[in-house]
Structure 1
Amino acid sequence: MKGSTSSNCLLLLLIVCFSTSFNLRCARAADPTDGFTLVPLSDGNFVLQKPYNLPLADRYSDASGVRKFWVYTNDKPFQSGSGTRPRTEGLDYSSGIWQFEGYAYVPKGTSGVTIMQIHGASEGATTLQLRIYDGDMKYYKFDVVATDLYDKWFRLNVIHDVDEGKITVFINGVKKYVVNDQGPGDLYFKCGVYAAPENSSKYMESRWKNIKIYKK
């Protein structure tokens, strides 16, 4: 993830970490998860980062299966001296076909924030960022992926075919966006809140439940 030059920004991070290597073809399916195998996850697969000067409970909660992440633009980074922007985010892989699934909720007012990304690329820090701007989801700050997502739960599936260099995004089981990835790297999924480099709202929040990882 590319950072900001600002020194007074929080990094709150949820990372799903899991390692393996596969090399299979992607098959079309009626549901995004058809043909995929669920990857078992434990608490050890999730890593949280928070403002270095605050307890975790001040920026993260996990109740009744819902993980809630929130940050402010003036929060501290995850460690002293970091220039990264505020974020909350999710599995290490290097080849094959992998899929992230989660149910997300973004309250009205949260804007200029990445809610899901794939870390790792040939150049730069990420190969995918899905950002929320005024209730719409965009690929970085460019193409619109989906609209009118405020104040409702929606299912997000992201398939990364590493060997073919393709990423496919589904919202509520419907294919919404296909894009080339940005080359190999230290790949893993992230979800939560990460302030964009520009035009971030003062308060940023996302909620997540039923986070799963699949492979082929």
Structure 2
Amino acid sequence: MPLQRTMALAGVTILLGGLSVAAPSQAASRLDPTTGWRQASFTYKMQKPWNLSLSQRYSYDAATGTHRMWVYSTDEPMEEGSTTDPRTEMRWFQEYSAGRHMWDADVYVAAGTDGATVMQILRVKRPSGTPATDFMVNASDDNGGTLRIYNGTVLKTGVYNTWLNLKVAHDAGAGKIDVYVDDRLVATVDDRGPATRHFKNGVYHHGEGRAESRYRDIRYWVR
């Protein structure tokens, strides 16, 4: 199981054109994004290019609790005959359509990763004609590595080859998703309507070349 660790500190919120952006304050720094949440267990399966063994695109370091995933733009999709992009991802089994659910992990993006989704909320049961995802965090190679959400909002720059903590808290009832980087609220966005969904993390590669991400201290919170 992933290692446990102590949470860092949170931020406060300023509303800017529909997005909530964190601003530091001494009062807010005493808050924890997981306050009032309960940690729950989670299970997953690995998705990888269909014609390769898992060890060719995934490794786990038990000493540090680190999951390492990589994929190439020339790799096959996860199923033979599929037209989707190549991926190496953890697909969570925990599905939900109501309540509040938080994905939480330390994330490392390897230099050169460009055009890969490293975390997403996938809509597995949804009304016809609606999007397949509620939320995506994408990595690009500008500014020393940049993480953006699907609407272009920058979460953090200079992310290559360094660890950061990412929390994605989804209030399915309210239709809102809060995003925390190093326990500071950096964005709030709407989801895409009623659906049954689950979390995913890894590299789902839409770009060129090699993509790699790593994860440790992965936790699931509910309330």
TM-score strictly above 0.5: yes
Tell me which residue corresponds to 2:50. Answer: 52
Q: Aligned match of 1:146 in 156, 162, 170?
A: 156
- Residues 109 and 201 in structure 1, CA contact (< 8 A), matched pair in contact too: no
Amino acid at match of 1:92: E
The superposition leaves residues 48-92 of structure 1 with CA deviations (integer Å, 9 ceiling, x where unpaired) of: 122111111000111121100000011111111001112224421
Q: Aligned match of 1:178 in 171, 188, 192?
A: 188
- The answer as to 2:106 corresponding to 1:103 is yes
TM-score (norm 1): 0.81
Q: How many angstroms does 1:201 deviate by?
A: 3.1
Equivalents in 2 of 1:49, 1:191: separation in Å?
10
TM-score (norm 2): 0.78
Distance 1:74 1:141, change over 3 A: farther
Q: Secondary structure at the match of 1:205?
A: strand
Q: How many angstroms does 1:195 deviate by?
A: 1.2
Q: Aligned match of 2:208 in 181, 196, 201?
A: 201
- Residues 131 and 141 in structure 1, CA contact (< 8 A), matched pair in contact too: no
Equivalents in 1 of 2:86, 2:51: separation in Å?
14
Equivalents in 2 of 1:176, 1:146: separation in Å?
9
Task: Please give the residue correspondences for 1:10-25 in structure 2 after superposition, counting only pairs within 5 Å.
Answer: none
Q: Secondary structure at the match of 2:196?
A: coil
Tell me which residue corresponds to 1:37. Answer: 38
Q: How many angstroms does 1:202 deviate by?
A: 0.4
Equivalents in 1 of 2:222, 2:136: separation in Å?
20
Gaps of 5+ in 1: 1-27
**Higher relative strand content:** 2
Amino acid at match of 1:83: T
Q: From the CA coordinates, give the structure whose radius of gyration is larger.
A: 2
The superposition leaves residues 80-120 of structure 1 with CA deviations (integer Å, 9 ceiling, x where unpaired) of: 10011122244211101110101110011111111000001
Equivalents in 2 of 1:180, 1:69: separation in Å?
29
- The answer as to 2:93 corresponding to 1:118 is no
Q: How many equivalent pairs are there?
A: 183
Amino acid at match of 1:114: T
Q: Aligned match of 1:93 in 79, 93, 96?
A: 96
- The answer as to 2:139 corresponding to 1:132 is yes
Gaps of 5+ in 2: 1-27
Amino acid at match of 1:52: W
Q: How many percent identity over aligned positions?
A: 36
Q: How many angstroms does 1:210 deviate by?
A: 1.0
Tell me which residue corresponds to 1:5. Answer: none
Q: Secondary structure at the match of 2:70?
A: strand
